[in-house]
Amino acid sequence: MTAAQYAICLNGIVQREGLRWLQQRGRFVSALVRPLVWLAIFAAGFHFVLGVSIIPPYETYIPYEVYIAPGLLAMIQLFNGMQSSLSMVYDREMGSMKTLMISPFPRWYLLISKLLAGVAVSVVQAYIFLAIAWFWNIEPPLLGYLTVLPALVLSGLMLGALGLVLSSFIRQLENFAGVMNFVIFPMFFTSSALYPLWRVKEANLTVWWISEINPFTHAVELIRYAMYEKFNALSALIVLAYLVLFTVLAVIGYDPGRGLIARRVAAE
Amino acid sequence: MLDQPAPAPGQAVAAGSVAAPPGPPLQAAGLSHSFGPRRVLSDVGFTVNRGDFTVLLGLNGAGKTTLFALITRLYHARSGSISVFGHDIRRDPLAALARMGVVFQQPTLDLDLTVEQNLMYHASLHGMARRAAAPRVAAELERVGLWAQRREKVRQLSGGQRRRVELARALVHDPPLLLMDEPTVGLDIESRRFLLEHVRTLCREQGFAVLWATHLIDEAADDARVIVLHRGRVLAQGMVGEVAAGAGADTIRDAFDRLVRDDAAPAAA
């Protein structure tokens, strides 16, 4: 296989992910409506309840809507990561995964391509959300729209890789509701998406610790800083570390010699 | 997308534009596998040669699907070896996979994409550029009579048509070895006949090597090779006539019944 063929393969996987996203109207709409509901209803309700003091990267008092916007961006990516990876399992008893796995490219390359395809879709969704959120007065500096891109890519990769790990290791997650209850909600609520962590620390030290090691917290903070043209090095490092960890685990999970897929196929 | 006309029948290239090195298309030796304590394959060995239409005959649960998963490297066998045109599936999986086309027992098409999009996706998974893939996709769709439906979503097709799309897809990268796992399950008589005839013709006229798994004995015609798999073991293999004669039967159906019964007897005793 030549480098050009590797590129063709990646391109094909990205295109398919994009086509599926466009053609599954429900997924497309819910991916946009979900964060907007949070923004329009939840944030409006809490607007007067929760005051956010001046914390970096913000340089002034900000309305609650502005505070949760980065968390909602990360939420789009979390949902997308789970959906695009787990769809490999749910698609007609692994049908689409088999199509992918019998491709004569190295399996790690196929998995990473799948990951990049999911990220491409989630980044587009994130920008559509940002465009609509502008009407809610979420107006980061113009350059912020550009500096947030690498943060979105990095956090999208990390959350997508987490989805891949789950799809290869966990057989009990029979449907998306299970993933919602046991992965998405716990990650979302024990993060800095909805409230600053110093408030959590005052309330409950254990939850604060969980939030501190929660990869989602650092995805949110990375995006939050990047939106305001700042770089949160600690969060970037932690997201990167989780990305490497999850990718290695996913490659192990899909290794033909380890028998993890074998177990799953046997259970069918 | 694809706007060039479909090629005339007979214009399709012969099997194996991916260079087929010496060595039999498919060879398995001493293949054993188990899921936990449950042994599903024991010391399975066979060879599929060029131009062979080989029927892997076995009841449900005989181990056919596991065997297919091992040949396609979905996972590795506990012991034994598989080679495709001399390429070992463990040591040289990429060369082996490039030379095989597969139709799995479960449908693997993307229902939300069109017929053409499904095939183009498959072509890209084999590193084929759009320019090279388009005529191949057109040729294969024409061959299974679905060129006119290329822009329909797979969801709109009947079960028989979907199977034909899967066959066309498996052949897009022009593999000299074709693996089909119970491809006719759930199809009506006409679709079954079409699929069987189509693949047998490919074998005869273009030298494809085919491994066709089924539990339907009548799919093993007199000129086919047959491998009888039961409870993970090969009970007999050879040309249909040879297997029948070896079991002391007149037809392959009687031979199969006899082999399976004799195999069960010692266990029941």
Parallel, antiparallel or unpaired: strands B233-239 and B225-230: antiparallel
Measured from the Cβ of residue B49, the count of other Cβ atoms closer than 10 Å reads 12
pLDDT exceeds cutoff 60 at B198: yes
Tokens of A192: 């800095």
Contacts of A105 in chain B (CB under 8 A): 94, 125, 127
Q: Are B35 and A266 in contact (CB under 8 A)?
A: yes
Contact at CB, A98 and B121, closer than 8 angstroms: no
Phi/psi of residue A154, nearest 5 degrees:
-65, -45
Q: Give yes or no for A19 touching B (CB within 8 A).
A: yes
- pLDDT, residue B5, reads 44
Question: Is pLDDT of A257 > 50?
Answer: yes
Would you state the pLDDT for residue A226?
Answer: 96
Residue B51: name the closest of B197, B202, B207 by CA: B207
Pairing relationship of beta strands B38-48 and B26-35 according to DSSP bridges: antiparallel
Render pLDDT for A221-249 as a digit per residue (tens, 0 to 9). Answer: 999 999 999 999 999 999 999 999 999 99
pLDDT at position A268 is: 44
Q: How many CB pairs under 8 A join A and B?
A: 113
SS3 (DSSP) at A186: helix
> Which residue bears the tokens 């995006």?
A223
CB contact under 8 Å between B126 and A261, yes or no, is no
Entry pTM: 0.86
Task: Express each pLDDT in A101-153 by its tens digit.
Answer: 899 999 899 989 989 999 999 999 999 999 999 988 889 999 999 999 999 99
Query: Among the ranges B13-17, B243-247, B259-263, which has the highest mean pLDDT value?
Result: B243-247
Q: Which residue has the higher pLDDT, A267 or B247?
A: B247
Which residues, other chains included, contact B167 with Cβ-Cβ below 8 Å and sequence gap of 6+?
A: B103, B144, B180, B183, B195, B198, B199
Closest approach of B231 to chain A, Cα-based (Å): 15
Res A267 pLDDT > 50: no
List chain B residues with CB under 8 Å of A16.
110, 113, 117, 121
Cβ B41 vs Cβ B232: under 8 Å: yes
Comparison of pLDDT for B204 and B16, the residue scoring more: B204
The secondary structure of A226-241, three-state, reads HHCCCCCHHHHHHHHH
Kindly state whether B76 is in contact with chain A, defined as any CB-CB distance less than 8 angstroms: yes
- Give the residue from A13, A102, A113 with the most B CB atoms within 10 Å of its CB, the best one to mutate: A102
Predicted ipTM of the assembly: 0.84
**Burial state string for A67-92 with b = 16 or more CB within 10 A and e = fewer than 16:** bbbbbbbbbbbbbbbbbbbbbbbbbe
**Where along chain A do its domains lie?**
3-267
Chain centroid offset of residue A245 CA = 15
Give residue B106's pLDDT: 84
Count CB atoms within 10 A of the CB of residue B155.
12
Chain A, residues 55-114, CB within 8 A of chain B, namely 91-96, 98-106, 110
Alpha carbon of A9: minimum distance to chain B alpha carbons (Å)? 5
Digit-coded pLDDT (tens) for B165-190: 999 999 999 999 999 999 998 888 98
Q: Within an 8 Å CB–CB cutoff, is residue B254 touching chain A?
A: no
Asked if A15 has any chain B CB less than 8 Å from its own CB, the reply is yes
Q: Which of helix, strand or coil describes residue A245?
A: helix
The CA distance from B20 to B13, in Å, is 14
Q: Which domains does chain B have, with CATH numbers?
A: 26-268 (3.40.50.300)
Residue B15 clears pLDDT 60, i.e. is over it:
no
In 10 A of CB B81, how many CB atoms?
15
| Record: contact A104-B73, CB cut-off 8 A | no
Looking at the complex, report in whole angstroms how far the Cα of residue A156 sits from the nearest Cα belonging to chain B.
Answer: 23
pLDDT in tens, A30-51: 878 888 888 888 877 777 666 6
**Chain A contact for B177 (CB, 8 A cutoff):** no
Specify the 3-state DSSP secondary structure of B217: helix
Whether B127 sits inside 8 A of A19 (CB atoms) is no
**A11 contacts chain B (CB < 8 A):** yes
The shortest CB-CB distance from A102 to any of B35, B40, B97 is to B97
Residue B233, strand partner residues: B230
pLDDT in tens, B34-48: 888 888 999 999 999
Is A3's Cβ below 8 Å from some Cβ in B? no
Higher local confidence (pLDDT), B105 or B237: B237
Residue of A107, A247, A95, A235 whose CA lies nearest to A163: A247
- Are the beta carbons of A262 and B74 separated by less than 8 Å? yes
Q: Among A224-238, A253-267, B45-59, name the one with the lowest average pLDDT.
A: A253-267
List CB contacts (< 8 A) between B34 and chain A.
none
**Of all residues in chain A, what percent carry a pLDDT higher than 90?**
47
